[in-house]
A = this chain, B = another copy of it.
Amino acid sequence: MLAIKLISLLLACVVLFSVVPASGQDPLASWNEGAAKRAILEFVRVTTDKDSPKVVPPAERIATFDQDGTLWVEHPMYTQVVYCLERVPAVVKAKPELKEVEPFKTVLSSDRAAIAKLSLKDLEAIMAATLSGMTVDEFRADVRQWLATAKHPRWNRPYTELTYLPMQELLKYLRAHGYKTFIVTGGGQDFVRAYAEAVYGIPPEQVIGTMGETKYGYDKSGRPTLTKEPKLLLNDNDSGKPEGIHLMIGRRPYAAFGNTAGDRQMLEYTGAGDGARLMMLVLHDDARREYAYGPARDLPDTKVGAFSKELMAEAQQRGWHIISMKAAWKRVFAFEPIEP
Contacts and interface: CB of A to CB of B under 8 A. Distances in A.
A295 interface: no
Nearest to A194: B250
9 contacts: A59-B203, A204-B249, A205-B206, A205-B248, A211-B247, A214-B246, A216-B243, A216-B269, A233-B247
Contacts of A268: 224
Interface residues of A, number: 42
Contact of A243 (B197, B215, B243, B251): B215
A248 B269 CA distance: 21
Contacts of A2: 2-3
A-B CB proximity, top 6 nearest:
A204-B250, A216-B239, A205-B249, A224-B272, A193-B250, A224-B268
A contact face: mostly helix, strand, loop, or mixed: helix
A248 B208 CA distance: 8
Nearest to A204: B250
Contacts of A249: 204-205
A329 to B, nearest CB: 29
A226 interface: yes
B205 A269 contact: no
B204 A226 contact: no
A250 B196 CA distance: 12
Given A6-B6, A233-B247, A250-B205, A216 B190 contact: no
Contact of A224 (B190, B206, B242): B242
A75 B236 CA distance: 38
A191 to B, nearest CB: 11
A154 to B, nearest CB: 31
